[in-house]
Structure 1
Amino acid sequence: MSSTNIQKRYNTEMITLPSPQYEDHIVFLRTLYEKLQKPVVVGVSGGIDSAVALTLLARVIPKEKIIPVLLPHHLQNMDDAKQIIAFNQIPESQTHIIDIAPMVQSICDNLQIEKNDHIRRGNIKARVRMITLFDLAKKYEAVVCGTENKSEKRLGYFTRFGDSASDIEPISTLYKTQVRELAQQLTVPKLFIEKTPSAGLWENQSDEQELGFTYHDADQIMYATFELGYSKNQIMQKNPALNSDVIQRVLDQVASQQFKQLVPYSMEVAPNAMG
């Protein structure tokens, strides 16, 4: 599929996801903070998910209790990450910037991972970032705030024991489409809302290019399937712009990554649940 087709947005939208309830997320974080009374470490990549997570934290938690962490790989541009930190008026002195390239390279060298093996190297990067965030949380007696959304979770588009690891998940109940809407409610700068989604695991990596469909389409399909109980035919009737091939690709992706929701397997897991 070409990048033009992947980026295409349809005007016909007859499957509408509910608007996110801003106050629900605020109450969740406020209640949690009042109970834990701990600082919060959050990885800030410069993408919309971490921008929204950080902005929610800044609306609830004292700024001096928020520890933003930027984890570039070598010369990776972090200007957008710095911008969202400044937008939320978090003191620069609290921000940590740690180049993960030496750690990643050391592991890749020891494991003899080829330079063009993007998947293995990407997983190493995600897990090195996880190690760094949790180590800083230990140092500051803090908790780690994750930035995972419901689309990534359902699609299995995450690294186990990497970007999925956290203590708090403020946006995990929201599909990517809803995260964008919440960003608008929070008046997050427009550049984050319009930015091409990327996990930043290798140069010029794009979520939608890798997946083969847009979050815009996938969210409608997953919401209709799992929340509304629609069949493939019902989805196409509701939104003719969603053809059978796209629907099947999304559902196949969900099915192929279902194991990520089940592991680690144990004697408590029925064999038929393993697929």
Structure 2
Amino acid sequence: MLANPNATLEALTSWIRDYFAENGSTAHAVVGISGGKDSSVVAALCVRALGANRVVGVLMPNGEQADIEDAREVVAHLGIRSICVDISGATAALSSALIGAEGFAEAAGDNAGLSRDTRINLPARIRMTTLYAVAQSLPSGARVANTCNRSEDYVGYSTKYGDAAGDFSPLANILVEEVRQLGSALGLPEHLVQKTPSDGLSGQSDEDKLGFTYATLDHYITTGECDDAAARERIDTLHTMNLHKLKPMPAFQL
């Protein structure tokens, strides 16, 4: 837990300002807005650091999105410009192109079609493509915000080259409960700050999908303690298995 959320807010605000001073003094921040706590806090931090006129929120429903109004509420609350891109057409088109591609069925073997993980991760990668397309279309240039937090990163709960990508990452060292603290300190609507985390793609909450609570994970990350042996084993397994998502791409050195 953050001992002083307001002091952390000040430090994060200065960090974002310094990043943009060095990497795009007139550039905008582009943030994918899901309506959850992470994207809401990142967008609010960018507004605090740069001003609402330099932050663009991008809503990316994959067809029908049950909580799309939460995303719209964030945009309205922060007073930022927004773009809403329905990615369902692109997702369906690429899925169809893959399944019908010459040689795909042979390579996929027993799968015959797209695997479950592919179906879940494909929209996340299309969303990141969308964010960069928006960023590169803004006349003053833009930088894409990564919205992953420390807890998610520790167990690799993100899509490589999807939501794990971005140009700067304000929450990379902030745990889930600490993100909630920041959201409250920023004055974001409390029902969004406390909203049950979900990837919006699998139909499950994050905790259901992971098999343990974020409270358990955060406690283990900070203390190394976990009374639930099964949860500890799963956390360790996920951490080891997904470290590649955080490491730079290996490159052969002469």
TM-score for both structures, normalised by structure 2:
0.86
| 1:243 CA drift (Å) | 2.4
- Distance in 2 of aligned mates of 1:167 and 1:259: 18
Distance 1:246 1:133, change over 3 A: same
- Report SS of the residue matched to 2:170: coil
Q: Is 1:107 matched with 2:94?
A: yes
Partner of 2:104: none
Provide the aligned C-alpha RMSD in A.
Answer: 2.0
- Distance in 1 of aligned mates of 2:130 and 2:248: 23
Q: Is 1:243 matched with 2:232?
A: no
Q: Which moved more, 1:170-179 or 1:44-53?
A: 170-179
- Aligned counterpart in structure 2 of residue 82 of structure 1, from 66, 72, 78: 72
| 1:62 CA drift (Å) | 2.2
The aligned amino acid for 1:108 is: S
- Aligned counterpart in structure 2 of residue 259 of structure 1, from 237, 244, 247: 244
Partner of 2:159: 159
Partner of 1:199: 199
- Report SS of the residue matched to 2:45: helix
- Distance in 2 of aligned mates of 1:147 and 1:136: 17
Identity of aligned pairs, percent? 31
Alignment of 1:1-150 (within 5 A): 20=5, 21-35=8-22, 36-37=24-25, 38-77=27-66, 78-90=68-80, 94-112=81-99, 117-140=115-138, 141-150=141-150
- Distance in 1 of aligned mates of 2:235 and 2:83: 37
Q: Which moved more, 1:113-122 or 1:56-65?
A: 113-122
- Distance in 1 of aligned mates of 2:3 and 2:189: 22
- Report SS of the residue matched to 2:38: helix
The aligned amino acid for 1:121 is: R
- Report SS of the residue matched to 1:262: coil
- Distance in 2 of aligned mates of 1:63 and 1:27: 16
- Distance in 2 of aligned mates of 1:259 and 1:69: 28
Partner of 2:170: 170
> Moved runs in structure 1, 4+ residues, more than 6 A?
113-116
Count of aligned positions: 235
1:213-258 CA distance string (max 9 Å, x none): 0111101101223xxxxxxxxx25xxxxx32222222122212222
1:23-54 CA distance string (max 9 Å, x none): 11111112223332211111001110001001
- Distance in 1 of aligned mates of 2:196 and 2:56: 26
Does structure 2 retain, via aligned residues, the 8 Å contact 1:19–1:181? no
Identify unmatched segments of 5+ residues in structure 2.
100-110
TM-score for both structures, normalised by structure 1:
0.80
- Report SS of the residue matched to 1:52: helix
- Distance in 1 of aligned mates of 2:29 and 2:158: 22
| 1:174 CA drift (Å) | 0.4
The aligned amino acid for 1:160 is: K
